[in-house]
Amino acid sequence: MREITIPISDETIRSLKVGEPVLLTGVMVTGRDAAHKWMIDTFIKKTREPQDDDLESYEALKKLLDGGVIYHCGPVVSGLDTKDYKFVAAGPTTSIREEPYQADVMKHFNLKGVIGKGGMGPKTLTGCQEAPGVYFHAIGGAASYIAQSVKQVLGVYKLEFGVPEAFWVIEVKDFPAVVTMDAHGQSQHAVVDASSKKVLDELLAKPY
């Protein structure tokens, strides 16, 4: 089990291989559909004008994500009224929804790690090779367990997106994950997809 500290160097990223279990420690940022669309539309493709506190949020997030990790997570958060935030549940969201955006976000923000569940597609895999970066698979169905690795909520950006969709800045210690897409073009998810398709094709070919 390798212990990885965030921010992560290119050297460390290139040393990681598919199948390797890791424990992540440091500061990471959550972000799902609304977060990725906002980053793409406002600051990468620039198809919308920045509004209100967009620029302030962008500058803060740019520093946090440089060499950092984004976690596809819609957390359950307590303390919303008092702003004494605490993660009650922090399970991973299905990552493929961010496939149209992820490679561009990785490149723009110098992002080194993406955490989620279910893996991502060829565009993100190419992005991992170019960044370089890796995809970390988190444990689905273990939201309360993963929340125990969140030691502190340091802040939140774009809370107007809603609690699950906002950018939550969290400090984690020994966050458990497995490398399932690496910077060398290897994807465990592509292997599983191909194997599953082969089995399905064989089943469909059988006479009944």
Which backbone phi and psi does 105 adopt, to 5 degrees? -65, -40
Q: In this structure, are strands 2-5 and 69-71 parallel, antiparallel, or unpaired?
A: unpaired
Q: 38, 104 in Cβ contact below 8 A?
A: no
Instruction: Record the tokens describing residue 55, joined without a space.
Output: 């620029």
Q: 178, 113 in Cβ contact below 8 A?
A: no
Q: Indicate which residue of 36, 72, 137, 189 is catalytic.
A: 36
The helix (H) or strand (E) run that includes residue 77 is: strand 76-78
Q: 171, 4 in Cβ contact below 8 A?
A: no
Q: In this structure, are strands 167-181 and 134-137 parallel, antiparallel, or unpaired?
A: antiparallel
Measured distance CA(181)–CA(187) in Å, rounded: 4
Our answer to whether residue 137 is catalytic in this structure is: no
DSSP codes of every residue in 171-204: EEEEEEEEEEE-TTS-BHHHHHHHHHHHHHHHHH
Active-site residue set? 36
